[in-house]
Amino acid sequence: MASGGGLNPNRAGHRCAHASSLGVSDIDWAAPWLADWRGVGESIARQVAAGVPQPEALNAAGRAPVRFVPQADLPEGQAYEDFIFAMGQVPTREGLHDFFNALCWMHFPLAKKRLNQLQAREIARAGVGQVRGPVRDAATVFDENALLIQPSDALWAALTEHRWLDAFGGLRSEWAHTRLWAFGHAALEKAVQPYKSITVHLWRVPQDVAQPDLDAWLARDLTPEKLAHKPFSPLPLLGVPGWWHANEDLTFYADASVFRPRRAPRLPEKPYASPEIMPTA
């Protein structure tokens, strides 16, 4: 999530800045991570590329529970999430970041409303400070960067333990029947110009959740308690088998600067770890 000009990204009225200068005409709708989004998004993108203002083209689709309005409609000093909650309107800039955000409202209307409710509730409780609290922080990470995954227990364990060669080598055949759903709009914006280190945050979907029930399940699953514990697991996006030709060679995963080992948990320091307060014999 990029912010420009040294501004505090948590202050009222401030939003994530555009991460790139690319536009909707640069989207490759054949990209595998956009498979679920193409049917709705491609025709809207054509309208925007032809000169229709982005909010107008998005509203014409009639698929979201909110209306998309120009960025100028967001009053100075009012938090973005609070405005959406109060008005049912999403301030929308031209460009990829807000375009993908709007498409997510169309694909996951219940989950997006839930995230907005959580954000607004936290703002009402704690205000907009220099640092987000744990729930707002995790909700933002999810909104910007989540990738939903429905894996087997073995594959999930390999991914969360960063056993990359197991996840993408030994268990590679499992990916053919592991369902993935894009969600995070900032990650999708980055993926318009793919590079190896784009990393998403996995959120596990149980095996018994069917596709038609996904949005409703996700809205229920996004609880403050769960978000506060940040149950995410990182995944370099282009590592998904079938999503990038270079990963057919397993040496692709040997790059430890991208496919990083799992950090060892930090042990709490004993109060006498400092030599000045070592216990006497």
Tens of pLDDT along 65-107? 999 999 999 999 999 999 999 999 999 999 999 999 999 999 9
Contact 120, 81 (CB under 8 A): yes
Q: Which residue has the tokens 């420009």?
A: 4
In this structure, the number of other CB atoms found within 10 A of the CB of residue 234 comes to: 15
Which positions of the chain have pLDDT values less than 70? 1-20, 128-132, 265-281
Angle at the Cα of 236 from the Cα atoms of 230 and 242, rounded to 5 degrees: 125
pLDDT for the residue numbered 133: 82
| pLDDT at res. 21 | 78
Whether the CB-CB separation of 216 and 108 falls below 8 Å is answered with no
Q: Whole-angstrom Cα distance, residue 72 to residue 91?
A: 7
Alpha helices in the chain (DSSP H): 38-49, 54-61, 80-87, 96-107, 109-126, 134-145, 153-160, 164-165, 185-191, 214-221, 224-228
Element (H, E) at 201: strand 199-204
- Give CA–CA dist 187/147, Å, rounded: 9
Neighbours of 171 (CB within 10 A): 20
What's the confidence (pLDDT) of residue 9? 32
CA distances from 99 to 25, 27, 246 (A): 12, 11, 29
Residue 11 pLDDT: 38
What is the dihedral sign for C-alpha 222, 225, 226, 227?
A: positive
Q: Which of 112, 105, 79, 104 is nearest to 222 (CA)?
A: 112
Residue 222 near residue 129, CB atoms below 8 Å: no
Task: Tell me the pLDDT of the chain averaged across its residues.
Answer: 89
Specify the pLDDT at position 276.
45
Model-wide pTM > 0.75: yes
Residues 58/44, Cβ–Cβ less than 8 Å: yes
Gap between the Cα atoms of 124 and 81, Å rounded: 11
Q: What are the distances in angstroms from CA 199 to CA 29, 109, 125, 251, 259?
A: 20, 24, 31, 18, 10
